[in-house]
């Protein structure tokens, strides 16, 4: 039976605890699991039987979370990891090799731009950043060494909506996977797999957990990509020496990427989610749809109010009719454009500093997707190291403030913004 989202966000992946009947998923605070006998242990280590060995690879609490997220995203399997950034590396690792590249949207979370433009170079990988609204440029950037296309569904920091259908048509034609970071949208607002994504990555730190308590990430596999169609993905299609020549795709089919993520990725890179973090995130996901509805309602009200304010130059929220992305909402994220956007203040850098310093309910933090409303002035913080040109290109110029709308009373949020804007203009 196909349950609705509101049912799945509470039940998917979970059954009453087989040992005790506990209704809530227990926190399995253990590093290891007793083997039935030596044959059982050998079968587990050979991947001939699926079971728990050691919590760097799998843990029952984390496994419930992985299955819940996979179900909500409409994927075949998922691997949870220690952070969103870990999830991005875990998604790329089976695909990449020295000399290979990815084609990535220029509109990404700031930390992802740094990870892709600097840190992955140490592995011999590289990224080409392209404006994903320029489809010809995306096509032109893909070459024989490209192993993935990467974008965000609702993109940081401005809340822009990516035309996933158009982008997946390009990656399909090139025979390479599309990886979509669905952190800002969540599976409640957007289902990237329905729009052709091969893999979906999450920072579960944000809306999925929802209250700013624990770090986490997840890679969901659609199970739809044919890893053996070309010789581009030998880690998945060719014999794996560390498992006696086992071929992941041939052996595990639609679960090849998930098994590789656990049996190679977590085993050797060790970016494991801990069961406490999985517990907090499972608690958060139970109310995901309720929170996202309120985030969207509040963001629509507040973005509309800000757009009419004299001190505000522009508001980037895609849910506003003035947004060039407004037309994509119905197709890509029909339940709304999320809770994240930027505003530019006419008073420039100085006004932004006074604005963020005078807000009382909104917190000035480097986070988003919390029940609390949050702001950050990127030019003086996360994007401080960039040149003026780079800041503008990233949508984080000196007059821009990023806003993550929480689920508080919107009247109170508007009053707070109003008094801070008044002080910023003084």
Residues of this chain that bind ligand PLP (CB under 6 A): 83-85, 109, 111-112, 152, 156, 181, 183-184, 203, 205-206, 215, 217, 368
Nearer to ligand PLP, 323 or 382 (CB): 382
Cβ 394 to ligand PLP shortest distance, Å? 13
Nearer to ligand PLP, 68 or 206 (CB): 206
Nearer to ligand PLP, 119 or 419 (CB): 119
- Residue 381 CA, distance from chain mean position: 22
Nearer to ligand PLP, 120 or 311 (CB): 120
Nearer to ligand PLP, 249 or 291 (CB): 291
Cβ 201 to ligand PLP shortest distance, Å? 7
Contacts of 171 (CB under 8 A, 6+ apart): 142, 148, 149, 177, 178, 196, 198
- Residue 363 CA, distance from chain mean position: 22
DSSP helix, strand, coil percent of the chain (3-state; round to 5): 40, 15, 40
Cβ 283 to ligand PLP shortest distance, Å? 17
Report CA torsion sign: 138, 141, 144, 150.
negative
Cβ 266 to ligand PLP shortest distance, Å? 16
Cβ 294 to ligand PLP shortest distance, Å? 19
Cβ 60 to ligand PLP shortest distance, Å? 23
Cβ 245 to ligand PLP shortest distance, Å? 35
The residue sitting closest to ligand PLP, measured at its beta carbon, is 84
- Could you give the CA distance from residue 55 to residue 273 in angstroms, rounded to a whole number? 9
Q: Distances in Å between the alpha carbon of 123 and those of 81, 92, 93, 99, 235?
A: 20, 11, 10, 9, 16
The Cα angle at residue 276 between residues 272 and 277, in degrees rounded to 5: 60
| Tally of CB atoms within 10 A around 227 | 24
Nearer to ligand PLP, 55 or 186 (CB): 186
212 cis-preceded (ω within 30 degrees of 0): no
Q: Distances in Å between the alpha carbon of 406 and those of 54, 144, 184, 210?
A: 38, 44, 13, 10
Nearer to ligand PLP, 109 or 280 (CB): 109
């Amino acid at each position: 039976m196909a349950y609705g989202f509101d049912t799945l966000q509470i039940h998917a992946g979970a059954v009453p605890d087989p040992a005790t009947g506990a209704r809530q998923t227990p926190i399995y605070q253990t590093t290891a699991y007793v083997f039935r006998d030596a044959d059982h242990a050998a079968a587990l280590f050979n991947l001939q039987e699926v079971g728990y060995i050691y919590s760097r690879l799998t843990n029952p609490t984390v496994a419930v979370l992985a299955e819940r997220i996979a179900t909500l995203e409409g994927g075949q399997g998922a691997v949870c990891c220690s952070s969103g950034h870990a999830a991005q590396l875990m998604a790329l690792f089976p695909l990449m090799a020295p000399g290979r590249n990815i084609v990535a949207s220029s509109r990404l979370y700031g930390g992802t731009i740094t990870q892709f433009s600097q840190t992955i170079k140490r592995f011999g990988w590289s990224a080409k950043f392209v404006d994903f609204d320029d489809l010809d440029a995306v096509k032109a950037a893909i070459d024989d060494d490209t192993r993935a296309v990467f974008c965000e569904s609702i993109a940081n920091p401005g809340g822009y909506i990516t035309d996933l259908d158009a982008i997946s048509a390009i990656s399909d034609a090139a025979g390479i996977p599309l990886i979509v970071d669905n952190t800002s949208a969540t599976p409640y607002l957007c289902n990237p797999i329905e729009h052709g994504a091969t893999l979906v990555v999450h920072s579960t730190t944000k809306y999925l957990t929802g209250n700013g308590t624990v770090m986490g990430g997840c890679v969901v596999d659609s199970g739809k990509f044919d890893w053996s169609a070309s010789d581009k993905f030998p880690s998945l299609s060719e014999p794996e020496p560390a498992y006696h020549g086992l071929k992941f795709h041939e052996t595990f089919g639609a679960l090849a990427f998930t098994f590789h993520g656990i049996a190679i990725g977590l085993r050797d890179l060790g970016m494991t989610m801990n069961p406490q973090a999985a517990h907090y995130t499972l608690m958060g996901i139970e109310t995901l749809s309720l929170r996202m509805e309120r985030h969207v309602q509040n963001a629509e009200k507040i973005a509309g109010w800000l757009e009419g304010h004299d001190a505000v130059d522009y508001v980037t929220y895609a849910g506003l009719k003035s947004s060039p992305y407004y037309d994509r909402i119905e197709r890509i994220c029909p339940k709304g454009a999320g809770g994240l956007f930027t505003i530019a203040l006419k008073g420039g850098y100085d006004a932004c500093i006074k604005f963020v310093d005078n807000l009382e309910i909104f917190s000035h933090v480097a986070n988003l997707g919390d029940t609390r409303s949050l702001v950050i002035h990127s030019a003086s913080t996360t994007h401080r190291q960039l040149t003026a040109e780079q800041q503008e290109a990233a949508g984080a110029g000196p007059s821009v403030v990023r806003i993550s709308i929480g689920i508080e009373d919107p009247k109170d949020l508007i009053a707070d913004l109003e008094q801070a804007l008044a002080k910023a203009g003084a």
